[in-house]
Structure 1
Amino acid sequence: MTLKSRQQGVENVNKAIAESERQMCELEMQKKNSVDEVDRLRKETLELENHIAMLDRKTSLYESLLLEVQFQKPSGDVCEETERNIMDITFQRQMEDEKSHCYFRLVHNLLCQYIGSETTWIKKYPTSRYIPTLLHDVGLVVSRCRLLGEEINLMKKWGCSEAGHPGHQLCGHTERPEDIVSSVTPAKNHLIKIVKRSMNVCCETSSSQ
């Protein structure tokens, strides 16, 4: 074997070694990326599990009202279903009436009236797909009950300067109560606006007599 051919053989070996080292570096990078990806997926899985657990239990009004959703267990060998059937929807008051403000009790009473009037929770929200709608509807009712409770509480505090006089003696029969109510656009402080409108009508009627 000539010197030239030996040199060529050494060069080929060196190239092969360099290629092997390059491939090993790539494999190490792929391994590291795979480990990072596995860690990321584990964290995402944990976050999703926590999110699902939070969907099962939801609190409102400073954690004084608990909404709990019970799902049916997956049937057969299927561990996870894309859409799970809801078995029960319950509400629990977690408030001590004796230690709570009267306004807070009033809001809870309004909510209890609404919850008691709804007897078809499962029919309206039969599966996990309806959970966002359930949370939205309950949140909307909670918000409205808080506003209504605030208005009623303020009206109780204000009282009425003309409480000793029947309304029909002050206002006569120029406007029926339903006409006054219909003249006020539903919005924030709806009840208070109705009362103010009624008092204005009474004042206008009294001054014209």
Structure 2
Amino acid sequence: RELSEMEAEDELDLAEMEKLKKTETACLEILKKYDFTEWELMEWSEQQAVFNFLYDSVTLTVVFGPPVDGEFFAARPSRSITSLDFESFLDEEQAPPSSCLVQRLIFQFIESRGSWQDKCPTLHYLPQALLDISLVVNRCKILGEELEFLQRWGAKFHLLETDIKDTEVKLLFSSSVAFAKFELTLAVSHDYPTAVLPFRVQTHIGNIGEKEVAAVLSKVPAGHHYLQRTVISIHQNLLQDPR
């Protein structure tokens, strides 16, 4: 008799696990309709969902509350959301400066939105929240790739040094042909590259200063690979042989 009761309990547990698995699959299908994704679903249970971003360096934990009357998600009653918590797992002491900058910009965006729980009170709003985060993560990730490119290949464009401090990128240009050495500092934010960047110039050698750099940057439109295009434009217009 005890054996049959245990078998019945096992069957109930298996049925519950199967039900939960189907719910997870259905929810995943809805979320993936927003096909621009930078997240990976790590857990979906009755209590919470856990998403990872950017090579597992950022984690979002969404804690579920009671069901919501009259609202459905994945063909089941929707759930309220009691909290959305973001956590960084980047080892800033070991990570390259470009990765640290990317992480800072992502969390700058997260903090700029205020209360995520107010913006995402139920599961109905979760796909849009994941999309908003994905867009910023993607743009910041591309910025990190641009910085790595410039650190590796900058010498081709008379770029002597690329330095990152907080959310500023310092580019030191030097050209014997143009008899010029100057530092361009760009202030980046989580909006990159949707707007041109505030900048300042410090001249070390020669006559290239803020006026000359501003004239070049005014012709570089905001958009994809803005930083790389800025460096290439400065190289082509200011640092070549004047003849």
TM-score for both structures, normalised by structure 1? 0.62
Which residue of structure 1 lines up, in the alignment, with residue 219 of structure 2? 180
Which structure has the highest helix share of the two?
Answer: 1
Instruction: Report matched runs for 1:66-105 at 5 Å.
Output: 66-74=59-67, 82-105=77-100
* Larger CA Rg, structure 1 vs 2: 1
Give the distance between the partners of 1:181 and 1:122, measured in 2 at CA. 38
Identity of aligned residues (%): 25
Which residue of structure 1 lines up, in the alignment, with residue 111 of structure 2? 116
Any unmatched runs of 5+ in structure 2? 1-14, 28-42, 155-160, 162-172, 183-202
Give the distance between the partners of 2:127 and 2:109, measured in 1 at CA. 19
1:196 to partner: Cα distance = 0.9
Which residue of structure 2 lines up, in the alignment, with residue 20 of structure 1? none
Does structure 1 residue 47 correspond to structure 2 residue 86?
no
Which structure has the highest strand share of the two?
Answer: 2
Give the distance between the partners of 1:196 and 1:136, measured in 2 at CA. 32
Give the distance between the partners of 2:61 and 2:108, measured in 1 at CA. 18
Match of 1:164, SS state, is: strand
Match of 1:104, SS state, is: helix
Is the 8 Å Cα contact of residues 57 and 66 (structure 1) preserved in structure 2? yes
Is the 8 Å Cα contact of residues 85 and 126 (structure 1) preserved in structure 2? yes
Is the 8 Å Cα contact of residues 220 and 229 (structure 2) preserved in structure 1? no
Instruction: Report matched runs for 1:1-209 at 5 Å.
Output: 45-51=19-25, 53-54=43-44, 56-74=49-67, 82-157=77-152, 158=154, 159=161, 160-162=173-175, 164-165=181-182, 166=203, 169-170=207-208, 173=212, 176=215, 178-182=217-221, 186-187=223-224, 189-203=225-239, 207=242
Segments of 4+ moved more than 6 angstroms: none
1:177 to partner: Cα distance = 5.3
The verdict on how the C-alpha distance between 1:192 and 1:61 changes in structure 2, with shifts beyond 3 A counting, is same
The verdict on how the C-alpha distance between 1:70 and 1:155 changes in structure 2, with shifts beyond 3 A counting, is same
The verdict on how the C-alpha distance between 1:73 and 1:147 changes in structure 2, with shifts beyond 3 A counting, is same
Report the more deviating stretch, 59-68 or 92-101: 92-101
Is the 8 Å Cα contact of residues 68 and 91 (structure 1) preserved in structure 2? yes
- Supply the AA of the counterpart residue of 2:238: C
Match of 2:77, SS state, is: coil
Match of 2:66, SS state, is: coil
Aligned CA RMSD, in angstroms, stands at: 3.6
